[in-house]
């Protein structure tokens, strides 16, 4: 059941990114923002910069959350990447409807997808990994930790990319992280319980 929820969450995340957010050039999280900064500061290709960011976070995940959690995260990232690739190759750019409706839909779907991943012992990679580490250490919700991390990174990227895009990204993150926290705290039977017990397994 956990892997079914992980697949569903990863697909929803991919749909949110490919259908609603990427057509409007809205970054889905802070990992993309860090990649943009590395690309600007070190003149590395954007793809390589994104790989470096995600690889560093996966190393952290392996150390703090163990092999099973890291494998599930890599599995979910793969499903999301395949979903994004399939959709973007068959969908005309520009979004489906109005900008603000796409932003709202993307934020909600992204939050549901990531929330399902976290509830079932995985993550979407990127900034979710340090956000979960902070949430476990501080005893706070992962959505709140993720929001503040991404908010800080997006402010940094405002020195490199257009300010309106940063503002839209922050609005999207505000929506999605509230959905993440709602799903994280939702009392449901037969779901994975994300606790400190994940650590160092």
Average pLDDT, stretch 38-56? 82
**Cα–Cα distance for residue pair 137/142, rounded to 1 Å:** 11
Whether residue 110 has pLDDT greater than 90: yes
Give the pLDDT confidence score for residue 200 in this predicted structure: 42
pTM over 0.75: yes
Give the pLDDT confidence score for residue 189 in this predicted structure: 55
Give the pLDDT confidence score for residue 12 in this predicted structure: 96
DSSP 122: -
Angle formed by the axes of helices 46-88 and 128-138, nearest 10°: 100
Whether residue 35 has pLDDT greater than 90: no
Q: How many CB atoms lie within 10 A of CB 56?
A: 14
136 band by pLDDT with thresholds 50, 70 and 90: confident
* b/e sequence 57-79, b meaning 16+ C-beta within 10 Å: bbeebbebbeeebbebbbbbbeb
């Amino acid at each position: 059941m956990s892997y079914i929820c992980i697949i569903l969450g990863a697909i929803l995340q991919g749909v949110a990114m490919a259908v609603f957010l990427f057509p409007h050039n809205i970054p889905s999280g802070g990992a993309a923002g860090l990649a943009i900064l590395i690309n600007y500061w070190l003149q590395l290709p954007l793809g390589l910069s994104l790989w470096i960011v995600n690889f560093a976070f996966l190393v952290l995940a392996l150390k703090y959350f163990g092999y099973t959690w890291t494998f599930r995260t890599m599995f979910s990232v793969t499903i999301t990447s395949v979903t994004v690739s399939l959709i973007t190759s068959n969908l005309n750019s520009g979004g489906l409807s109005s900008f603000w409706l796409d932003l709202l839909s993307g934020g909600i779907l992204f939050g549901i997808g990531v929330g399902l991943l976290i509830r079932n012992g995985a993550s979407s990679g990127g900034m979710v990994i340090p956000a979960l580490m902070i949430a476990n250490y501080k005893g706070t919700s992962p959505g709140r930790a993720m929001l503040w991390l991404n908010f800080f990174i997006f402010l940094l990227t405002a020195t490199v990319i257009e300010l309106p895009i940063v503002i839209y990204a922050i609005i999207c993150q505000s929506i999605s992280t509230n959905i993440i926290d709602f799903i994280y705290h939702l009392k449901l039977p037969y779901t994975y319980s994300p606790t400190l017990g994940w650590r160092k397994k």
